[in-house]
Amino acid sequence: MAPVHRGGLRLKLYSYWRSTTSVRVRAALNLKAVDYEIVPVDLVAGEQKQAGYVAVNPGMGVPSLELDDGRVITQSVALLDFIEEMWPDPPLLPSDPVDRAQVRAAAAQIALDIHPVNNLKILAYLKGPLGHSQDETVIWMNHWMTEGFTAFASLIREGTPYCFGDGIGLADLCLVGQMVNARRWGCDLAPFSRLVEIDERCRENKAIQQALPKAQPDAPTT
Ligand SMILES: N[C@@H](CCC(=O)N[C@@H](CS)C(=O)NCC(=O)O)C(=O)O
């Protein structure tokens, strides 16, 4: 039986276990105790480009959230906004408009500046038509992660347990997802000890743990 959700919606989340954009949306849903059904999309097998999925998400990426009336929301940033509006508790954003904008700006540093240039299709284009080696694409990714993390570390608040305060917020969710990729590709995290600490603190939370790649139904078992 499909799970029934807080707010009366039945939600299907198209997701890929290792996708950082999926991590941030799964984490938001989990933190707010919203149930959802995962529909795995195998990005390595190219399922995101198959007609059935393109009809769901013309942008050919995950995540996408399908509501029980068939409407679909794409783009993880739009999804995070939707989730926050639908299920405000616990809040991912502060109440002051300037504070909110600053949290959104830090989140965008990852979601809109780092992620798009390191996406699978960009790497495939670098390696395919442009003829770059795997090693070169790893250098590419780590360059943009290092530059983006440097800005992110300056944008977040100083001395707080999480990026902007005492609770996990929007910027933390984006950080946790991006750290998955940073570790996967061996990005040097030595200059980013505060980000490492925040990520570790977030990972102590069960809702975050359940959003991480290895907890997903489509994660490899070995
Ligand atoms: N801007 C979109 C990007 C979605 C996206 O492209 N996600 C990646 C996974 S992290 C993906 O599905 N990539 C497939 C590809 O590059 O072919 C969002 O934030 O939702």
User: Are 12 and 65 contacting, i.e. CB atoms less than 8 angstroms apart?
Assistant: yes
**DSSP track, 93-153:** S-SSHHHHHHHHHHHHIIIIIIHHHTSHHHHHHHHTTT---HHHHHHHHHHHHHHHHHHHH
Residue 3 has pLDDT above 70, yes or no: no
Which residue has tokens 């038509």? Answer: 129
CA–CA distance, 123 with 140 (Å, rounded to integer) = 9
Q: Which of 18, 43, 54, 179 to mutate to test the pocket of ligand 1 (most atoms within 8 A of CB)?
A: 43
**DSSP track, 51-81:** HHHHHH-TT--S-EEE-TTS-EEESHHHHHH
Q: What are phi and psi of 160, to 5 degrees?
A: -100, 155
Q: Which of 49, 115, 180, 185 to mutate to test the pocket of ligand 1 (most atoms within 8 A of CB)?
A: 115
Instruction: Just give the CATH number of 12-90.
Output: 3.40.30.10
pLDDT for residue 7: 55
Residue 182 has pLDDT above 50, yes or no: yes
User: Are 7 and 86 contacting, i.e. CB atoms less than 8 angstroms apart?
Assistant: yes
Domains in the chain: boundaries = 12-90, 97-207
List pLDDT tens digits, range 94-127. Answer: 999 999 999 999 999 999 999 999 999 999 999 9
Q: What is the mean pLDDT of residues 46-66?
A: 98
pLDDT for residue 9: 74
Atom in ligand 1 nearest the alpha carbon of residue 74: 20
* Nearest residue (CA) to ligand 1, atom 9: 19
- Whether 19 is in the pocket of ligand 1, judged by its Cβ within 6 Å, is yes
Considering only CA atoms, which of 148, 175, 149 is closest in space to residue 162? 175
Residue 60 has pLDDT above 60, yes or no: yes
One-letter amino acid of 221: T
List pLDDT tens digits, range 199-219. Answer: 999 999 999 999 999 999 999
Q: Mean pLDDT over all residues of the chain?
A: 95
Residue 4 has pLDDT above 70, yes or no: no
List pLDDT tens digits, range 18-31. Answer: 999 999 999 999 99
How far is residue 178 from each of residues 156, 162, 194, measured CA to CA in Å?
15, 15, 14
Q: What is the mean pLDDT of residues 172-179?
A: 98
Considering only CA atoms, which of 27, 6, 15 is closest in space to residue 206? 27
List pLDDT tens digits, range 127-169. Answer: 999 999 999 999 999 999 999 999 999 999 999 999 999 999 9
CA–CA distance, 130 with 194 (Å, rounded to integer) = 36
Number of H helices, E strands in the chain: 10, 4
97-207 is classed CATH 1.20.1050.10: yes
- Whether 40 is in the pocket of ligand 1, judged by its Cβ within 6 Å, is no
Query: Whole-model pTM?
Result: 0.95
- Whether 120 is in the pocket of ligand 1, judged by its Cβ within 6 Å, is yes
Residue 2 has pLDDT above 80, yes or no: no
Distance (angstroms) between ligand 1 centre and the Cα of 178 equals 13
Burial readout 50-75 (b: 16 or more C-beta within 10 A, e: otherwise): eeebeebbeebbbbbbbeeeeeebbb
Reported as a pLDDT band with limits 50, 70 and 90, residue 6 is low
